[in-house]
Chain A
Amino acid sequence: MAEPATERPLPAWSRPAGSTESLALPTEWPGRVTREWAWGGSTGKGVRVCILDSGIEAAHPLVGELAGAVAVEVGDDDEVSVVEDAEGDLCGHGTACAGIVRSLAPDCELFSVRVLGAGFTGSGTALLEGLRWAVDQGFHVINMSLSTTKSKFAGLLHEAADRAYFRRSVLVASAHNMPVESYPWRFSSVISVGSHEEREAETFFYNPSPPVEFFARGVDVEVAWLGGARARSTGNSFATPHMSGICALILGKHPELTPFQLKSALYLTATNVEGLGD
């Protein structure tokens, strides 16, 4: 997979006199950012979306073809390896998330990174290493409908989330809907997602009272499930792939956007900000 062209030689935090012309944006932003400008006509083509989850059932009618699948294995002494994954989905959840992204961005490339199955004791390590691996691969969007409450992983996950941010991998993470401290959704470098009860897949709201930044469709969603089947599902973990899908649409049309710009575009096109939604 190609390296994203974002890590330039240092220094990058100051500008010599006369060099500001190199700060020109590759795309001109319109006076008013609309959904039509942001993702009108986009199918997510060219965007690589990683589903960090329980695996994905390939060839499910709602998922289609996968661009690849790996599993994070945790051995004795927390030794980690990332291997080709032929197990598919160990739960159904990853398949559900993949189907939601596909429904919004039909031409995006879907890639599965399975972090489930290493036993509970290895699960924090699998989650962290899965994320690090995904960031290394330069995926444009990383869907994390999961979290950990273990504070010992918080610092390392924060580092990985910031690294993703500066490498232009957009990390979309489920907020917790229980009153517990968990990560990585609380970090400001990720796009954190909770649920609303509306029925439209492209309806999403900006939350002016973070830490949850956006609310997307997460109640009574028809999803793909194991065995080529379907189910109706509820939870922030299903709202998250809706935002991932919308991110894929925007990046399909504007691949040059940084995570900061993408988040700005999301803000400006949120249902409660743009209002009309074109």
Chain B
Amino acid sequence: MTDDRLRAAVATGVLASEDAHRALLQATVEVARAIFRAKASSVLLYDEVTDELVFEAVAGEGSETLVGERLPSSTGIGGWVLVTRQPIVLDDVSKDARFAEDAAKKTGYLPKGLMCVPLIHEEEPLGVLYVLDRPQEIRFSLEEMELLGLFGNQAAIALDLLRKARRARAVLDDAGTDAALLARVAENLEGLDGERRAAGVDLLRSLEALFS
């Protein structure tokens, strides 16, 4: 195990949980939806194992059903944005257009317009952010595009944290490793308070002195 993974495992066990990162991501899509006065907003994470995009957080239309649903990573608008790293905005899509079909089939909701931006962290695209059906009467501006990019940056950071938390969790769940043992001890200690915590800290200090 590398030092990085060990540090990540222990730090994440102590400092944060996957639930907290998921809540941060959910808050991001909620705010994106509110700011753009849109019908829905969602974040999809790229799953490198299956080469697919997975809905991680959804606000508005589809929020009950979409989380966990998967789309291909290089077809459709989300796939295009992920692969090309270029944000895209579409409005007034004709009724008969083949458009966002995959997502539409899964939600029963066919948007008339969408904004989609890549979520890039340290040169790596982690996923995409969708904002569906902002008010059509408002002409889109480059200012809004910048705003969309800013949301994209925030969502990328949240998505990166979630991904790291999951990797760290995988390390923790691998009970056979020494790092997992240490991380579990750190995590359990964090859950204690009062005298038990003080006793635990004393014991760990003694162990530290013994091993140094």
Query: What is the interface of chain A, defined by CB distance below 8 A to chain B?
Result: 54, 90-93, 116-123, 127, 145-151, 174, 176-182, 195, 197, 219-220, 225-237
- Provide a sorted-by-A list of 15 A–B residue pairs whose CB atoms are within 8 angstroms: A91-B80, A93-B84, A121-B48, A122-B74, A148-B85, A151-B123, A180-B120, A219-B141, A225-B90, A227-B96, A231-B92, A233-B88, A233-B90, A234-B140, A234-B145
Chain B min CB distance to A229 (Å): 3
Contact in complex: B74, A231 (CB < 8 Å)? no
Contact in complex: A177, B146 (CB < 8 Å)? yes
Q: Enumerate chain B residues within 8 angstroms of A176, measured Cβ to Cβ.
A: 85-86
B75 lies within 8 A of chain A by Cβ: yes
* Cα separation A231 to B88 with both chains bound (whole Å): 12
Q: Enumerate chain B residues within 8 angstroms of A177, measured Cβ to Cβ.
A: 87, 142, 145-146, 149
B200 lies within 8 A of chain A by Cβ: no
Chain B min CB distance to A196 (Å): 8
* Cα separation A229 to B93 with both chains bound (whole Å): 8
* Cα separation A90 to B82 with both chains bound (whole Å): 14
B69 lies within 8 A of chain A by Cβ: no
Contact in complex: B85, A93 (CB < 8 Å)? no
* Contact partner, B88, options A117, A122, A235, Cβ 8 Å: A235
Closest 3 CB pairs of A and B: A229-B97, A146-B84, A229-B94
Contact in complex: B82, A150 (CB < 8 Å)? no
* Cα separation A93 to B142 with both chains bound (whole Å): 19
Q: Select the residue from B92, B98, B113, B117 with max chain A CB neighbours within 10 A.
A: B98
* Contact partner, B149, options A116, A145, A178, Cβ 8 Å: A178
In B11-50, the 8 Å CB interface with A consists of 46, 48
Contact in complex: A120, B152 (CB < 8 Å)? no
Digit string of B144-160 for contact with A (CB within 8 Å is 1, else 0)? Answer: 01100100110000000
A147 closest partner in B (C-beta): B85
Q: Select the residue from B89, B96, B124, B139 with max chain A CB neighbours within 10 A.
A: B89
* Cα separation A117 to B153 with both chains bound (whole Å): 26
Contact in complex: A119, B73 (CB < 8 Å)? yes
Chain A min CB distance to B52 (Å): 9
B125 lies within 8 A of chain A by Cβ: yes
Chain B min CB distance to A15 (Å): 43
Size category of the B interface is 35 or more
Contact in complex: A116, B142 (CB < 8 Å)? no
Contact in complex: B51, A119 (CB < 8 Å)? yes
* Cα separation A146 to B77 with both chains bound (whole Å): 13
Chain B min CB distance to A232 (Å): 4
Given that A121-B51, A149-B124, A197-B141 are known contacts, is A229 also in contact with B96, CB under 8 Å in the complex?
A: yes
Contact in complex: B123, A236 (CB < 8 Å)? no
B60 lies within 8 A of chain A by Cβ: no
Contact in complex: B48, A91 (CB < 8 Å)? no
Digit string of B48-68 for contact with A (CB within 8 Å is 1, else 0)? Answer: 100100000000000000000
* Cα separation A209 to B88 with both chains bound (whole Å): 24
Q: Enumerate chain A residues within 8 angstroms of B91, measured Cβ to Cβ.
A: 220, 231-234
B83 closest partner in A (C-beta): A123
Chain B min CB distance to A59 (Å): 15
* Cα separation A90 to B99 with both chains bound (whole Å): 10
Q: Enumerate chain A residues within 8 angstroms of B94, measured Cβ to Cβ.
A: 225, 227, 229-231
Contact in complex: A149, B123 (CB < 8 Å)? yes
Contact in complex: B120, A178 (CB < 8 Å)? yes
Contact in complex: A225, B120 (CB < 8 Å)? no
Q: Enumerate chain A residues within 8 angstroms of B87, measured Cβ to Cβ.
A: 177-178, 235
* Contact partner, A220, options B77, B84, B124, B139, Cβ 8 Å: B139
Q: Select the residue from A146, A219, A234 with max chain B CB neighbours within 10 A.
A: A234
Contact in complex: A232, B99 (CB < 8 Å)? no
Contact in complex: B80, A116 (CB < 8 Å)? yes
* Contact partner, B97, options A54, A120, A146, A226, Cβ 8 Å: A226
A123 closest partner in B (C-beta): B83
* Cα separation A64 to B93 with both chains bound (whole Å): 20
Given that A120-B51, A120-B79 are known contacts, is A182 also in contact with B85, CB under 8 Å in the complex?
A: yes
* Cα separation A197 to B87 with both chains bound (whole Å): 16
Contact in complex: A117, B74 (CB < 8 Å)? yes
Q: Enumerate chain B residues within 8 angstroms of A123, measured Cβ to Cβ.
A: 74, 83
A152 closest partner in B (C-beta): B123
Contact in complex: A232, B90 (CB < 8 Å)? yes
* Cα separation A232 to B87 with both chains bound (whole Å): 14
Contact in complex: B75, A116 (CB < 8 Å)? yes
Q: Enumerate chain B residues within 8 angstroms of A232, measured Cβ to Cβ.
A: 90-92, 113, 140
